[in-house]
Amino acid sequence: MKNLVIYTAKNCPYSQKILAFLYENELPFIEVKLEENKEAVKEIFEVMKEVRTPTVAIDEGAYKIMTLGWNDQNKKRILAYGASLLGASS
């Protein structure tokens, strides 16, 4: 099963925007607060070679797709993730 994981920072306005978008669109997700999870910071850095928030990860078990920031590309990925969930539940 796919999991949408959003890595956020408390004082990041883009983190707040992506969370609002997810709630508005009623999409299930897991939020990882980087201030509370130093291992997640290391994981992002190992994959992306930098850490920015929000970081969006679609975890499919065998692999994880990670992208940085809140932008149109990530918005499209998240909507596609939501559509795949709807397709899986029918």
Element (H, E) at 66: strand 64-68
Q: 4-52, pLDDT tens digit by residue?
A: 899 999 999 999 999 999 999 888 999 999 999 999 999 889 988 999 9
Q: Model-level pTM?
A: 0.82
Residue 86, pLDDT score: 64
Residue extents of the structural domains in the chain? 3-89
The two counts, helices (H) then strands (E), for the chain are 3, 4
Which fold would CATH assign to domain 3-89? Glutaredoxin (3.40.30)
Q: 54-85, pLDDT tens digit by residue?
A: 998 887 766 677 787 888 888 888 888 877 76
Residue 90, pLDDT score: 44
